[in-house]
Each structure stands twice: as C-alpha cells, then as structure tokens.
Amino acid sequence: MIISFHSILVSFLITMSSSLCCTSALGGNSSVINFQVGVILDLDTQLGHRALDCLMIARSDFYSRHPNYTTRLVLHARDSKGNAIDAAASGLQLLKDIKVDAVIGPQKSSQAHFLMNLGERAQVPIVSFSATSPSLQPRTNFFVQTVQTDDTEVGAIAAIVKAFQWNQVVIIYEDSEYGNGIVPYLSNALQDINARVAYKSLIPVSAHEDFILKELYKMTTMQTRVFIVHLSYSLGARFFLKAKAIGMMSDGYVWIITSDLMDLLSSMNLHVVEAMQGVLGVKPLIPKTSNLDPHRLRKKIFDIANPGYKPADIVSNFDAWAYDTMWALAMAAEQVGTHYPEASYQDTTADLNSSDLFNLPISKRGPKLLKAILTTRFKGLSGIFHLVDGKLYPSSYKILNVVGNGEKEVAVWTPSHGLKRVRRNTADKFNSTEDFSSSIMWPGKSRVIPRGWEVPVRGKKLRVAVAVRPGFEEYLNVMRDSRTGAVHFGGYYIEVFKSVMAALPYAVPYDFILFEKPDGSCAGSYDDLIYQVFLQNYDAAIGDITITGNRSNYVDFTLPFAEGGVVRIVPITYEDDNGMWTFLKPMKKELWLTSIAFFFATGLAVWILEHRASSAFRGPPSYHLGMIFYFPFSTLVFAHRERIVTNLARLVVVVWMFVVLILNSTYTASLSSRLTVQRLRPAIADVKELIRKGHSVGCYQGSFVCDNLRGMGFNDSKIKMYRLPEDYKEALSYGSNSDSISAFFDVVPYSKLFLSKYCDKYTIVGPTYRTDGFAFVFPKGSPLVADVSRAVIKLTENGEMLDIQRVWSISDPTCNGPDTTETSVSVSLQSFKGLFAITGAITSSCLLIFIANYVYKNRSSLQQILNSRTTVWSKIKEIVTHFDQRDLSSHPSIMESDPKFKYPKPEVAEIVSSSESVELSNTNLTVLSLPMNILSTQFNNVAVPNIPTDSTFSNSTVVSPVSEEESNTAIDASDS
C-alpha cells in the first residue's frame, strides 16, 4: 500500500510540475505544443529515484535556457516495481490511454524486451538510459539506448588481464538479459589476449545465500584466482558480503567488476564497500565540464515523500545519461513540433477487436521524433551526445580501485592507445606492470601483484607423478629405504624439475609420487599416466615423456627440456668388397651409363670432324665404326695414335681428355678406398626393406615409439617390446634366432647412452625421426605451464641445464668403438653433372660450326642434289657419298705432312700418259696416272713441263714407292 501511494503521489506531482513549468515558461501563451512523454522506472530503487530527479532537473534546465521554444515535454511517470510485467502494463497504459509520443525507460534490460515490441507496434520511440545489454540491439528500430552498452567495456577488462599476464579467469554473471548479454563479448575479448575462461558461474537473480555460498566454495577449489563479476546492484552487494565472509577477499585474489556495479558504488552501504576493498573496476570516462552541477543534481524533489533516500555524494554515469536523454528528447521535440504541431494518431480500434489488449494506436509523430533523436548531437554532461546505430557512441574507460569509502582512479583505457597513466598525456604509457600496480591496493590490503592462481584447497602440495624407466639411472633412479619405506628420487629429470620450480618467481610446494600400483609394479604405460593427469588424479608428471599430438589433446606440455627424435639401432656389420663385381661399385649405375654414352658421343663427334680431312679416319665402313668406338676409349690411357688435324676436333679432344682425367682419378681413388678401408654397413639399411622382408623390430614397452612403428607399417607380431637395455641388447645379438630383432627403435637420449656402453657392437643407421622432445606434463589449462616454460628457457640460456647434464654424465656420451657413421663410397652422377654439361656443350657447338661450314662451302652441290628428281633415299645416299669424299681444299698443308699421301719430286718423276699404266708385280709401288692439267693445278710445288694434253708418251710412268698398308688406301686420280 505504501509503494502504491508513493507511485500515485510521484505521478501526480510530476504531472502538476509539468503543467506549472509549461505555464511559467510561456507566460500563459496558449500556443504551446505539448509532447506527452512516458517515464517507466523502478521508483522504489535508488537508481530509479535518482534518475527521475535528473530528468526533472534536466527538463527545468533546458527550458530555462530555451524559454522561446514552442514545445514542451509533459512527463507521465510510472513505476515498473522491478519486474517486466508491471513495466509492460505501464507501457500499454501510456500508449493506449495517454497516447504518449515517446517513452523514457525501462530501467532494466530484462524489462525492455516486451516494451520495445510495443513501441515498434505503436511506432513510438522507446528511449532507455540504463538498459545496457548489447543484445537488445538491433531487435527493433524504435528502441534507442542513450547509454554505453556493456560490450564497449570488455576491451578495458581484457587490457587489465593482459597487463598482469593472467592466463585464466572465472566469469561470474547473473542469469538475466543483463547478465547474459556481455558474456559472448567478454569471452571473445579474453580469447584475443590468450586468456582462458576456466569457469562460468551463473547466479540467478533471486539466488538465496546458500546458493551463493555453494558457488563461492566451489571456486575456492579451483586454481584460478582472477574473477570478473557482472552482477546487478542488489545481487552484487549480497555476493561480495558472502565472499568477504568466507575469506575470498584476502591476499592472492583478484576481483574485477563491470561498469554498472562500479558506477553505483557510491550508493552502497558502508559495510558493502568495506567488503569490496581492493576490487578493480571499469567505468566510462566522463570529461570534466562546467555544465555539470553536482549540487543541483543532488537536490531531491521528493525528500518529504521519500525520507529514506539520502542525497548522493557522487554524480553517477546514469545520472548524467538521464540528464542528457531529457535534453536530447527536448531538442528533438522542438525540431519536430515546428513542422508537425498537432499530435496525430491512427486509431485501429475500429478495424480490430476492441477487446484485444495489444490493439494500440499508431503514432504519426513518433517516426519523425525517432529520426530527430538519432540525428541529435550536442555536448552534454556525459560528453558528446552522439548516437550510432541506436546506441551511444563509446568513449574511453577509467580503471578504478575501491579504496576506503570510495574509488581511486589508477589508469585510463582508450580503444586506440590501451592503458595510460592518470591525468597525463594520452600517449604516456606505463613503463612496466609494476609501474601500473604501484598505485593499486589489492584485496587484503596487499601491494604485491597477485599471480592469479593458487594451489587448490583440496591439495596443499602438487602431486607430481614420476615415470621411471629402468636401466638408465643417469636420467632417473628410485631408491627405497628398506627400513622406513621412504622413496628417494634422483637423476637428471628430477634435478631439472627441482631447478625449474626453484626458478619460478613464487614458491610452489610439491611431492613426488612414484607411478606404480600398490604391489610395486608399474601402473601402466605413458599414455595411462597422461590420462591420470587428465583426470586430475595428479597435478603434474615428469620423466621421459615425449610430446605427441594425441597426448596434447588431454594435457598441456611445457617447452621441452631434452632433445627429441627416434633413431634405429642395429648390430655392426662390415661391407664385403671381395666380390666379383666389386670393380663396378666405385661409381653408381647412372654415372656408368652417362659416361659410356658420352664416350660413344665423343667418338662419333671426332669422326665427323676428322673424316673429310684426315686419312686416319677414312677407310671402309667397318674401319669407321671401329674408330668411333676405339678412339675415345684409347684416350683413357692416352694411347691414341691418330693425328688430329682440324681445330674443332682438337678442341673436342682436349676437353674430353680433361673429363677422362677426372673420371679416371675419381674411379681410382674410390676403388682404392673401398678395397683398403673396412666400412660399417647395416644388415638392412632401409625401413621399407625391413617391413617387406618381415623382420622383427623392438621398442621400449609403453613408449609412443611402438605406436609409431605400427604407423610405419610394421605388423604387431613383428614388434617386440622390452623394458631393460640388456634384453634388447641380447635380442640384437641373436642373429637369425627366432627371438632376435633386426633393429631397435628408441629416443635419442637413451640411444646415445646405450651406444656409449656398447658402441663396438651396435650403431645408429638411417634418418632421425623427429619428435618434440621430453617435457613436463600438467592438466589442461594449468597456469603453471607458461611459467615453467619460461623457467626452462631461462635455465637453458644461462647454462644451468648443461651443468646438470655434466653432473649426471649425460652431456656428451663417449664411444671408443669403430666409426659408426655410415657413408656411401659410390660416386653419383650429381658430382659430374657440371663436367658433362661443359663437354656436351663444347662438342655440340663444334659439330654445329662444322656442319654449317660444310653446308655453306658445298651449297651448290647440295642444292643440285636436293633439286634432282630422285627419291628421298637416293638424295640421302648422294649427300652421304658427297660427305664421304676427302676435302683437301680446306687444309692444303695436310698433304705435305700426311705420310699416307706422297707428292712426286720433280727431279725424279717421270711423266706418263693418262691412258697408260705399268703394273709392277715384283715391287711394292703405286702407279698413278694423272692428267697434266690436274697436276699443274693441284700441286703448286711440283714443276710439270707444259706438255699438250693430246701428246702420247710410251713407257712413261710416275712411280712412287709405298708400303703395303699405304697401297690399300691409295688415292685414285678420280678422287681429285
């Protein structure tokens, strides 16, 4: 009854005040144009009560400064009583009965859904300065938010989380339109800075204290200590009182509240503010302006009617937004009223059933007023009033710290520059996190930056599982005290983990727990250990645990602290170079084939270049073919006796002999090395050959290597698992025994340590299969992962990791056995590609030059052959015959130097007729019958008497003694 009386009294006083204001301002002028404006607020709340005060003050201030305006806003206030039903009923009453031109409100985002639909149907703008949910837009075109929505502040919150490098947060929000609207935007902003949302706590609006306590206790069992709170005024006050009561407002906790709760801090009771000490919050930055008169805004019109409300000490953002909303609406009304002085409604009651509750009249002035509001721009109390897409244009945010009885500004966040100092140049950034934190008081009145996580209450120390691989005590060893039963851990992995945890900037207590069953046997494979960490039965795991893609789906790995990779260990065998085909091994098959091809190509090229000029390359066809094959091979030992007379052929032979020299020396060196040096050779060098021949291979039991072997194609029956180095050492030594293995696959660190002990019998062959190395294991989302990884990097850079390796004698395992490096002594074609390319290019160029010269000199003869009316085959034969003729015109000096062609000396030569010849059977002579005109023209150095060609001489011959070999190649006079 008291609430109803207050609401009726408020409505009456507002209506009377509006009438008096209009009459006073216009001095009794009857031409005033009234705009009926509905106001729907929760008048029983301090926010609604103060907002109504600001609306009244803003209307009074506006018309005091604009007395000549012909329009006036008449306010009709309604109390929504804090629920959506009463807000909707008030909206229906204002639209149907009073036929308002605009509605200011509602106060809450949850009340806006139905009311904004009513405004859409009646085409009346619904203007809210306090419904901040970003999900309300753009559902309807007639809903306007003259407030900065919640999605504009998520950047400032994410900047705080990023500044202190907190990688996990918990979001606490209420189950309403107001609470749910910000969560998607906040999650995306945190994801952009690589911060994970570890948990989302949804608090009902009407949550009782037991529910709040249950949620708070649940969050104490988590590692995360960074909480982002987005709750309404009343629910937020109750929440922080309970958090204070159970000790969650103490040292180590981080609380960040959103702008709505931060803005209403001044309205909270002192014991609530005391519970929120050390809380950080964000709040829109409202610039200092002379227009803002806090004393005037603090004035209460209804102090008598509402004695329980006290004047506000600080003007909130909602006060300023309410003030600016009234000014914007008054300016829009003046703009519309000058063009549409009469209110006009289209009544639809005649067309529809009059009993329909939602049968609303349609305003013709409403769309014009909406357009005017959206285009209105002025400098108000909250800054520049400017609407974009129906929402107030976002501005910068202040970062505030709850200290004492109020708030302390510690930084400013802008979308373009990020976090900045307070009251300084906008480009003045913080130099460090400590610089930013120096002015912040954290919960528990601490000045130390919280690390953002703690060991959960359920476990005082980290439970670190230790995976032990027997046989390599240098890496990890376990000693059990027989008297007390205590387990002592040692080795490289343990020392590294201890050094890493000691290097953290904070203390983390932990206990090592052996991963075994109660009876002392192994509790399972490495994958089983990973799954136990995933189930959070352990808080961490250490050992020779390799990072794999499948394991990373369940746990988080730190950066590796030991090298990775998988290699193949095989028994040592030596190459047998006593075979009958050993002489072919120094060069690979492709090099042999290429060399033989170039031998034949070079012989053919030399024959072509020398055939027309040198008698050594002439003779019957069989002689030609033999010369082509014989000549290049004779250059291997420089045994060729044929005289090269042409320059092109000489160039080809010189380059070819250089190639032969290199081939010969390379072959000799490789063969000598193969026959004199004993080289290691694996029994089977290729994994594919192991699979194809069905050989058995080994791996360590429980290791990921066994799964990799299956992925390579090995059958399960061919994969044998071992736990001790002695076991697979014997299996490698069995030879052809059924229990033997041809190769053992293991990670690089253990393989090196194994070979340091048995390097005279075993070796590593083949490639190293890459893996990411050994790393520490933590549950998904553990905040320790990033810090431990940084500590690993730090220990690696300062050399402490190498010192630990030296202490445990694993830094550089030594091996005094044979050279285990498998090398190939067969020379490949790749080494001679450049050499063959040079000789090929030079030989081809010489051939092209020779052919071009031949065609040019004999162009008339060749043209005559080609123009002849014979078959193609006949033409080819004639060209070949023409090419086969000896060409002495290009090389006149050859005839003097060639021993196979003797010129007759003038003083002993006897001239004979071309028609006669003498056959000397008893002497080895060559009889030449030469016409005088040929002799006189061809042999310039021979004196021939000028005898008429028709003269006849008897018993006259020209005889030149020749050898039997030369007689077979005598040149007939017809060749000339």
| DSSP-assigned states of every residue in 5-63 | HHHHHHHHHHHHHHHHHHHHHHTT-TT-EEEEEEEEE-TTSHHHHHHHHHHHHHHHHHH
Asked whether residue 206 is assigned to any structural domain, the reply reads: yes
The confidence score (pLDDT) of residue 641 equals 62
The confidence score (pLDDT) of residue 684 equals 62
158-208 pLDDT per residue, tens: 999 999 988 889 999 999 888 888 999 999 999 999 888 989 999 998 899
What is the CATH number for 745?
A: 3.40.190.10
Same domain, 129 and 241: no
Q: Does the pLDDT of residue 147 top 60, yes or no?
A: yes
Q: Shortest CA distance to 147 belongs to which of 137, 157, 155?
A: 137
Asked whether residue 241 is assigned to any structural domain, the reply reads: yes
Q: Side chain identity at 268, as an amino acid letter? A: M
Asked whether residue 814 is assigned to any structural domain, the reply reads: no
Same domain, 268 and 411: yes
The confidence score (pLDDT) of residue 666 equals 84
- Whole-angstrom Cα distance, residue 22 to residue 71? 9
How do beta strands 743-747 and 555-557 pair?
Answer: unpaired
Q: 3-state class of 538 per DSSP?
A: coil
| Whole-number percent of the chain with pLDDT over 90 | 21
How do beta strands 566-571 and 555-557 pair?
Answer: unpaired
C-alpha distances in Å from residue 82, one per residue of 3, 52, 579, 839? 12, 15, 101, 98
- Whole-angstrom Cα distance, residue 828 to residue 838? 17
- Whole-angstrom Cα distance, residue 680 to residue 682? 7
Same domain, 316 and 201: no
How do beta strands 33-41 and 254-257 pair?
Answer: unpaired
Q: Are 318 and 49 in contact (CB under 8 A)?
A: no
Q: Does the pLDDT of residue 972 top 50, yes or no?
A: no
| 179-193, 323-337, 551-565, 647-661: least confidently modelled range | 647-661
Residue 420 backbone phi and psi in degrees, to 5: -130, 165
Same domain, 154 and 144: no
Q: 3-state class of 310 per DSSP?
A: coil
Q: Side chain identity at 269, as an amino acid letter? A: N
Q: 3-state class of 619 per DSSP?
A: coil
Range of the domain at 725: 567-574+680-770
Confidence class of residue 397 from pLDDT cuts 50, 70 and 90? very high
Token code pair at residue 655:
């380059």
Q: Are 962 and 902 in contact (CB under 8 A)?
A: yes
**Can you point out the beta strands (E) in 134-284?**
143-145, 168-174, 196-203, 226-230, 254-257, 280-284
The confidence score (pLDDT) of residue 104 equals 94
- Whole-angstrom Cα distance, residue 376 to residue 368? 12
Q: Does the pLDDT of residue 102 top 80, yes or no?
A: yes
Same domain, 604 and 512: no
Same domain, 168 and 285: yes
The confidence score (pLDDT) of residue 24 equals 46
Last residue of a domain, one of 661, 676, 691: 676
Asked whether residue 457 is assigned to any structural domain, the reply reads: no
**Can you point out the beta strands (E) in 204-299?**
226-230, 254-257, 280-284
Angle between helices 621-634 and 589-610 (to 10 degrees): 130
Q: Does the pLDDT of residue 211 top 60, yes or no?
A: yes
Q: Are 337 and 70 in contact (CB under 8 A)?
A: yes
Q: Are 237 and 128 in contact (CB under 8 A)?
A: no
- Whole-angstrom Cα distance, residue 319 to residue 304? 21
The confidence score (pLDDT) of residue 737 equals 67
Residues with Cβ within 8 Å of 423's Cβ and at least 6 positions away in sequence, in order, are: none
Same domain, 282 and 312: no
Same domain, 159 and 281: yes
Q: 3-state class of 484 per DSSP?
A: coil
| Element housing 748 (H / E) | helix 748-758
Asked whether residue 948 is assigned to any structural domain, the reply reads: no
Number of domains in the chain: 5
Q: Which of 470 and 224 is assigned the larger pLDDT?
A: 224
Asked whether residue 114 is assigned to any structural domain, the reply reads: yes
| 240-244, 313-317, 395-399, 798-802: least confidently modelled range | 313-317
285-306 pLDDT per residue, tens: 887 664 555 545 554 433 433 4
Q: Shortest CA distance to 796 belongs to which of 778, 815, 773, 768?
A: 773
State the DSSP code for 616: G
The confidence score (pLDDT) of residue 227 equals 96
Residues with Cβ within 8 Å of 600's Cβ and at least 6 positions away in sequence, in order, are: 628, 629, 632
Confidence class of residue 731 from pLDDT cuts 50, 70 and 90? confident
Q: Does the pLDDT of residue 4 top 50, yes or no?
A: no
The confidence score (pLDDT) of residue 622 equals 66
| 855-859, 897-901, 943-947: least confidently modelled range | 943-947
Q: Are 189 and 169 in contact (CB under 8 A)?
A: no
Q: Does the pLDDT of residue 541 top 90, yes or no?
A: yes
C-alpha distances in Å from residue 447, one per residue of 4, 167, 243, 281? 50, 20, 20, 17
| 32-41, 130-139, 494-503, 524-533: least confidently modelled range | 130-139
H helices of 338-408, where?
A: 366-375
Q: Shortest CA distance to 432 belongs to which of 417, 419, 450, 445?
A: 419
Q: Does the pLDDT of residue 233 top 70, yes or no?
A: yes
Same domain, 276 and 419: yes
Same domain, 804 and 744: no
Same domain, 480 and 620: no
Q: 3-state class of 462 per DSSP?
A: strand
**Can you point out the beta strands (E) in 713-847?**
719-722, 743-747, 762-769, 777-779
Q: Are 649 and 609 in contact (CB under 8 A)?
A: yes
Confidence class of residue 581 from pLDDT cuts 50, 70 and 90? confident
Q: Does the pLDDT of residue 964 top 60, yes or no?
A: no
Asked whether residue 929 is assigned to any structural domain, the reply reads: no
**Can you point out the beta strands (E) in 740-831?**
743-747, 762-769, 777-779
The confidence score (pLDDT) of residue 708 equals 85
| 96-100, 688-692, 786-790, 951-955: least confidently modelled range | 951-955
Token code pair at residue 8:
């009726």
Q: Does the pLDDT of residue 752 top 50, yes or no?
A: yes
Beta-carbon neighbour count of residue 663 at 10 Å?
Answer: 20
Asked whether residue 435 is assigned to any structural domain, the reply reads: no
| Element housing 380 (H / E) | strand 378-380
Confidence class of residue 890 from pLDDT cuts 50, 70 and 90? low
Q: Does the pLDDT of residue 244 top 70, yes or no?
A: yes
Same domain, 217 and 185: yes
Q: Shortest CA distance to 199 belongs to which of 183, 176, 177, 210?
A: 183
Residues with Cβ within 8 Å of 252's Cβ and at least 6 positions away in sequence, in order, are: 225, 443, 444, 446, 450, 451, 454
Q: Shortest CA distance to 76 belongs to which of 4, 151, 5, 19?
A: 19
738-748 pLDDT per residue, tens: 678 888 898 88
Q: Shortest CA distance to 131 belongs to which of 118, 114, 112?
A: 112
